[in-house]
Every structure is written in C-alpha cells, then in structure tokens.
Structure 1
Amino acid sequence: MPSYRFMVTAIDAIGHINAVLGFSEALKAAGHEICFVHREKHRHLAVKRGFQFIPFDETVWEANLDEVMLKWLDTLSFKFKQDPLQRFLEKSPNENEGFRAQGLFFVIMNKAIDRILSDKNNKFDALLVDLAAPFPALHKHPVLWFPLLSSAALQLYPSGPPYASGYSVHSDKSKWEEFRKVIRDGHSEIARSMQGNLDAHGLSHIRFDPAYWHDEPQTIGFYHYPADLDYTECGPRKSNWHRIDCLVRKPDFDTDFVIPENLKDKPGKLIYFSLGSLGSADASLMQKFIDILSKSPHKFIISKGVRGDQLKLGDNMWGENYVNQIKVVQNVDLVITHGGNNTFLETLYHGKPMIVIPYFYDQFDNAQRVVDKKIGFRVNLYDLDEEYLLNCIENVFNDNEIQNRVKAISQNMRNSKSLSNAIKMMEKQIEQKSSS
C-alpha cells in the first residue's frame, strides 16, 4: 500500500486538536506521513508523536486569539447559564461584540491555513481538518481534504432534535423548528462575518448555517461518535459522512497518574471534575462547583483551567490548572464533565460513568444523550441545585445498570473496526484522485 503525506490541522481549541491527533496516530500506524500544522505553542504535540511540524505564520495573528476567546467567554458568560432556547431569544447590548470576536477567530485561522497551502514548498497528498465551519482556504486549493466532525453527531441528522438544543429525541417536535430559527437569529452577527468571508473569496454558493456549522465534505467526511449512542433512530444522516466509533489519543504525558498524597487516606470514591478549556475559565462558576463538591463524602481531582490560580480547593480535592486528563480518567470512578465531545468520548472509552454539566453548544446534546441512554445524569446551570448534584453522584455509584451499560459501550468502542475502515476509504479517495 502506498504511503501518503497528510497535512493535519484543527481550530485552536483543545478538543478539536485532540481529535485530529487521535486520528493522526492511526494514520501514522498505517504507514502514512503526518505533518501537523498549527501554532508554534503546539509543536510539542507533534514532536511527542513523531510527526513533522510546520508552524503557522504568526504575523497573520492580528489579535491574541486566546484573549479574543476569553473576551468572548467573559462577554457571554451569563448567557451560558441560561436555558439553551432562552439564551438566544434576547440579545444583550454587548453580545454582538462577543460574536464578532468569535468570527475573527475563524477568519484569522483561515488566513493562516491559506498561507501554508500557498507555499509551493509544502506538498501534501491530502488534508485532515477539524475546523467546525466552512473555510475558504480548503476550497481555493486543489489538494484533497477530509473533514472530521469531532463535535456531537446530532448536527448530521436533519430529522433529529436541533443541534445545541439539548432536546431529547423523545421531546415535543413542535419546538424543534422554533429553536432552529432562534439559534440562527441569535448568531446573525457571526453568520454575517463568516458568510462575508466566504463571499469575499468567491464562494457565495457555500452557505454558513449556525444551525449546523460544519462544512460539507469534498468527497467523504468523518464524525466521532460511538455506534451505541448514534442518532440512527432520527432517520438518515447527511450523505457522505461516516462514523468512527473511537479516536482516543495517547496521553499527553507517559507518566502514570498517582493519587496525590493529600487524598490517599481520604474516604470515598475518586472523581474527576472538569468544565473544559473554556468553561473552566469562568472562575466564579468553577468556585461555585468546588464549594458544592467540597461537601461530598468523596474525593476529587480538579482540572482548574487557565484561571485556576484564583480558585480555592476543598480539603477533599487536589487540582492543577492543567492535568494529564486521559491518565486521570483511567484511574477515577466517575467523571463530572461539561460534555465536550472529546472528554465525553474519552470517558466512555475508559468505561467511566459521568455526570454532564453542559456549558454551551453540543455539550447540551451530549448531556441529554447521557440521560436518554441511561448512562449517567445531566445537571443544568440554569436550575442548579446543590442537593440534586450531590445525589446524582450517589445515584451513579448505587446503579449497577449504569455501570454495566457504560462498560458495554467501552468494549464496543475498543472492538470497532471503523477507524481502520475510515483510513482505507481515505486511501481509496487519494488513489482515485491521483489516477485521474
């Protein structure tokens, strides 16, 4: 089988980067050459895996994207504590500024990718990208590209509940179209920015839809979601998308996780708590949960996040701003998570039950899927009840059926051949393009 050279990249968000890294590890194991293309700060991720690395041209960064995203978060943090429908029904005076900042995130990223692909010294047989939106650079250049959708699969099922609604597949369908309209109206500012960027590149036939976000595949695309949770009861999914059950990357560090000294002699189960890279930046929200969990009889590993130095942990806790998440998940009894797709699927792969506290977008869908599939519990920020959260923890540990269902999903993810089949599909597409 011939070996191909893949350029791999993702938007500058940890979950999306981790997903393409997991896919790339499998491509490398299949004999292909991987060139990870991203910001210089992520070079170590390529080096660790034996990938080549090409840095983006940092001069295109007209703004500090980390600060842009934190500003967007701070501007809209109160919105993320509302019911999904309510948060988009009314706009606050400064909300458009937050969405303009998010739009800038995509425009700058597109410019960086375009410069890499325009450099005649860079030769690739195909691209593997997780970009969460249509990018003009992909359509401008002739190289074959495969999108990876690493957010929840619901957006591929037009007959299912609306993406980012958190509605159950069993919910009242009369509300579904209302939500789609509301989310489109609520994202009108970012839609103008994204569509304007497409139009400026002569791509007005490609439409940016805030109810779906993703770009349609050039040939075929892939999404990361286990068969046991997929939305097949919602009718046919969008064409040319193929499921991969398992894309779990290697741990960031090879050292084993050791229970910290201050927790070794504490009673109770060991629980991991993380609200993800963006959710954890809401320091007041993090402290609120830390204060609640400090009343639990169990012990906690806390991923404190970028503003972790502002947090005060309880006596039954240990945490750092950044933890080696996969190694931690392997060693805990329960995961309390925001429900970002990457953490969500790593947790299932390692056979751990979860409580999902959704913060935004597809996290609501994953939270509801946990409930519908009876593998854990959902806790909403807009009706947060201390007693309910603490009871959910006990209910997980007392429910053997939850434990057994999660273990079965884990086993099926591990036994799946979908990833190797996906690589064969990509190889076939590259071969056909080369021969034509």
Structure 2
Amino acid sequence: MSKTIAFFPEAAYGPALNSVGIAQACQTLGYRCVFLTDPGMSGLYSGYGFEEYPVNMSAPMPADEMARYWSDFINSHLPNFRKSPIEQLDNYIKECWAAIVETSQWAQKELPALLKQLKPDLICVDNVILFPAIKQYSKAQGKPWVRIISCSENEIEDPDIPPHLSGMAQDDKDGHARFRAAFHQAIKEVHAGFNDFLIRCGERPYPLGTFFEDSPWMNLLLYPDPVRFNRRHPLDSGRFHYLQGCVRKEAPYAIPKFPVNHDKPLIYVSFGSLGCGDTDLIKRLIQVLSSLPYRVLVNVGDYLDAYSQLPNNVLIDQWFPQPSVIAQADLVIHHGGNNSFTECLYFGKPAIIMPYAWDGHDNAMRVQETGHGLRLDRYDWTASQLAANIAHCCTDAKIRQRLQQTSHHMQARPGPLEAAHILDKILQNTEKENHENARY
C-alpha cells in the first residue's frame, strides 16, 4: 500500500493551489495524497482528483456562508486597504490575526481524531499559525511534518530584511524597527490569547510576534533565488529549502478572439479570489485600459453581475486557469499574491503589482527592487501613470533581460518536482530510522 501524504493548506487559493502542484508531483512518485480542508474550500481539491477531508476551522455555518467567509471578511475591510501597511496594523492585520488564531482553536476540536483516522505518513502544512494537533500526532506516531512557506520569504524573520507584511525596502532599517514595534503593539492581546491556547494544549508559548515555528524536518520556501533577500543569518540548508516557485499543472487555455486590437499585447488582470470584491477599482482599470492599444483579460471572481457593458478590447470571467493564461500574456497586473508573483517570474512576464494587504505589500516592493516589474499604489494613480507603467514594463530591455534570466533559472528547477523529491527523501529516511530502531 502506498504511503499517505496529507496536505493542510490555509483556506485561500494561493496556498491551496501551491499544495496542489506539490501533490501532483508526489502522485507521480506513487504517493497517495489527501487534503485536509476548511469546508469553505470543499470541491477545490477533488476537482484535481484528490481526496478531501473537512476540518471545521470556524463555527459551523451554512455552506453558502462558509464559502463566502473570507471574501466577506476582506470586503468589510476595503476602506482599510487605502492605508499604508503600518496603518493597517490596528485594523485589518489585528483582526486578521484574531481570525487566524480562531482557526487553530477550532481545528483542535476535530483534527486529532481525523489524523488518527487517516494515519498519514507525512503532513505538509501551509499556514502562518501552528496547529498543535499536527505536532502532537507527529510526536506520538513518529511521523514527520513539513512546513510550507507560500507567502513572502520574510515570513521567516531576519534582522537585516524587512518585517513580514511591511512592504518596506530592504535598506530601510529605521522603518523596519518602527514597523516591528507597531506590529507587536497591535497584536499583543491576540498573541497572549494564542499563547494561553498553546499552554492548554501542552505546547510551549511563543515569543511576541511569533505564531508558528520551523519544522525540524524541512521548511519549503516558495521564493525563487533571483528575488531572495540578503539575510544576516542564512537559513540552514539542511532544514530550509528554496523552491523555485511552485507552478501547478493546469488545463490549456486558448486566448479568445477580440473584436479589436487583434495583434496587440495581452494584459491579464487579477487581484486574486479575495480581491475581486473591489469592483470599483476593477471598473476604473477597465475604463482606462479601454482607451489603450491592448487586449485585456480580467478575473472578476464571483462578481460577474457587477459588470454590464464592456469595451471591445476587454473580456472578463469569474475564473481563469492562471498559469496557462500568464504563459501567454505580455503583462500581468495583480495584487502581489505569491502565486501570481512567482508565476510571472516563472514564465518571464513583467508585472505591475497593486497591493492591498498582507504579503502583497512585500512582493510589490520586491518585484521593483529586483527589476522584474513595477509597484503601483492601488488607488493613488492616474490614467497617464498607468499607461506609462504598462508601456515601460512591456518595452524596457533591462526588465525583459532580467525576466528571461529568472524564467530560465526557475524552469530548469521545477518547484513541485523538487519538493516531491525532498518529501520522498524524508519519508525514506524516516522509514530507515524506524526500521533500525525496531532492531534494537
């Protein structure tokens, strides 16, 4: 019987689809891959052919409310997304961490029994918070667990790199200190409550600002080498591995025929599954793009009904097989989510990142710092500025050369396959150790 790898991504499409890519590669090595999932994500993994097992990570609610939980949360904070990252700490960030802590507390009610039922040989968790049940299962059964860091690399702290969620430049050391102090002040009560929960579960409390820990087996970062930060303390290569992105396999996508601009560059616009609720911004973008010499595809999520008349050079849909689209695009305008960020790099496509929250701020700064695209304020821009930025990204020789080099580097080391071989080695070593221990 093949060994079982259980994937437990957070309830967001970015981490979920990264894990799908790794699971697809693990399947080719003969492993049974299953997904533990928030009920609001039910159907996503089975759509790729994987078994799903629900874990309630919030109070049970009707299926339609569950599916909208995080979208509604994001939409309630739209006014806060006009603020700077440090100004978001006392509102969006604090409330987001409070909600995330609740997911860990709710999961502890069902996760221990589910792990006992499934008996996975390895657990891969892609989240920003510890689930005590995973550590406890690992310790009791002698099974390894692996942490996947699908957000920005700075989720793993270092004194010489910008704090996670800050969107600051690498050299802004004074700004780093201000942000860290403000972050600790904003989340101290939430963090204290989380530490109380850890103690009740028999786990040690974490230092202020820390909600997760490194895996003693392996920690997979999805940040590719060409955009890595310069750390004061390089991560131990025995326990940390930089994947070169993690682009999943998707169905091919044929670019539709547009009534106009048949031979013009193709722009893909997507603010992720949670960012589509900002319909005013998307409508403004469409209006400006309608007057420019491009073809445009726009991901509008569950908000198709919000758009009536569209210009002839713009087509919308509620979902696109994004890797297949980006591979054919000339430019991508996105929110800075890690999937969009690394997929653009993988296919060598310039990006204009208009962040609104979380690590989108970090990725927006990083795409500009490393010469792979441009960062643009989400709301404070003019039509002429947008047009100039698009033209620059599509024609600048230095950006094109840098992207070509990065794409070649990443495609020579496919992240999902590399991750699968790392997990395979961990399982083989664990089996060997268990066999040797049984002899004595």
TM value normalised by structure 2 = 0.86
Counterpart AA for 1:360? A
Superposed CA offset, 1:45-102 (max 9, x none) = 5455554x142156974244444323321332211221111222x559xx96665444
Say if 1:221 and 1:242, in contact at 8 Å, map to a contact too. Answer: yes
1:112-127 alignment, distance < 5 Å? 112-119=110-117, 122-127=118-123
Match of 1:381, SS? coil
Look up the match of 2:134.
Answer: 138
Look up the match of 1:62.
Answer: 60
Look up the match of 1:187.
Answer: 187
Residue 326 of structure 1 and its aligned partner are, at CA, apart by 1.5
Segments of structure 1 that go 5 or more residues without pairing to the other structure are none
1:318-357 alignment, distance < 5 Å? 318-357=315-354
Say if 2:122 and 2:145, in contact at 8 Å, map to a contact too. Answer: yes
Segments of structure 2 that go 5 or more residues without pairing to the other structure are none
Look up the match of 1:302.
Answer: 298
Say if 1:60 and 1:112, in contact at 8 Å, map to a contact too. Answer: no
Counterpart AA for 1:222? L
Residue 275 of structure 1 and its aligned partner are, at CA, apart by 0.6
Q: 1:98 and 1:146 mapped to 2: Cα distance? A: 24
Say if 1:270 and 1:333, in contact at 8 Å, map to a contact too. Answer: yes
Superposed CA offset, 1:146-170 (max 9, x none) = 1111111122241211111111112
| Distance change (3 Å), C-alpha of 1:356 and 1:208 | farther
Aligned residue among 225, 235, 238 for 1:237: 235
Q: 2:76 and 2:186 mapped to 1: Cα distance? A: 15
| Distance change (3 Å), C-alpha of 1:60 and 1:384 | closer
Match of 2:258, SS? helix
Aligned residue among 104, 107, 110 for 2:105: 107
| Distance change (3 Å), C-alpha of 1:213 and 1:330 | farther
Say if 2:55 and 2:107, in contact at 8 Å, map to a contact too. Answer: no
Q: 1:179 and 1:23 mapped to 2: Cα distance? A: 34
Look up the match of 1:247.
Answer: 246
Counterpart AA for 1:84? P
Residue 124 of structure 1 and its aligned partner are, at CA, apart by 1.5
| Distance change (3 Å), C-alpha of 1:421 and 1:97 | closer
Q: 1:131 and 1:346 mapped to 2: Cα distance? A: 20
Give the number of aligned pairs: 423
TM value normalised by structure 1 = 0.87
| Distance change (3 Å), C-alpha of 1:36 and 1:68 | closer
Residue 260 of structure 1 and its aligned partner are, at CA, apart by 2.2
Say if 1:156 and 1:237, in contact at 8 Å, map to a contact too. Answer: no
Look up the match of 2:79.
Answer: 78
| Distance change (3 Å), C-alpha of 1:282 and 1:271 | same
Counterpart AA for 1:385? T
Say if 1:353 and 1:402, in contact at 8 Å, map to a contact too. Answer: yes
Aligned residue among 366, 383, 399 for 2:380: 383
Counterpart AA for 2:373? G
Residue 314 of structure 1 and its aligned partner are, at CA, apart by 3.3
Q: 1:384 and 1:335 mapped to 2: Cα distance? A: 17
Counterpart AA for 2:387? L
Superposed CA offset, 1:363-388 (max 9, x none) = 11111111111111001126333322
Aligned residue among 124, 128, 132 for 1:128: 124
